[in-house]
Amino acid sequence: MEAKKSNPIKVFLYISVWVIIWGTLGSFIDYPLYKNKIYLVGSIYQYLTFTVTAMISIICAKFLYKKIDL
Domain ranges of the chain: 15-67
Ramachandran bin of 42, using left for φ above 0, alpha for ψ from -120 to 50, beta for the remaining angles: left
* Total length of the chain: 70
Please compute the mean of the pLDDT values over residues 22-35 and round it to a whole number.
94
Average pLDDT over residues 28-43: 93
Distance from C-alpha of 69 to C-alpha of 41, rounded to nearest angstrom: 40
d(CA 14, CA 2): 23
Helices (H), the chain: 8-35, 44-67
Task: Summarize the confidence of residues 35-57 as an average pLDDT.
Answer: 94
For the chain, what is the mean pLDDT? 91
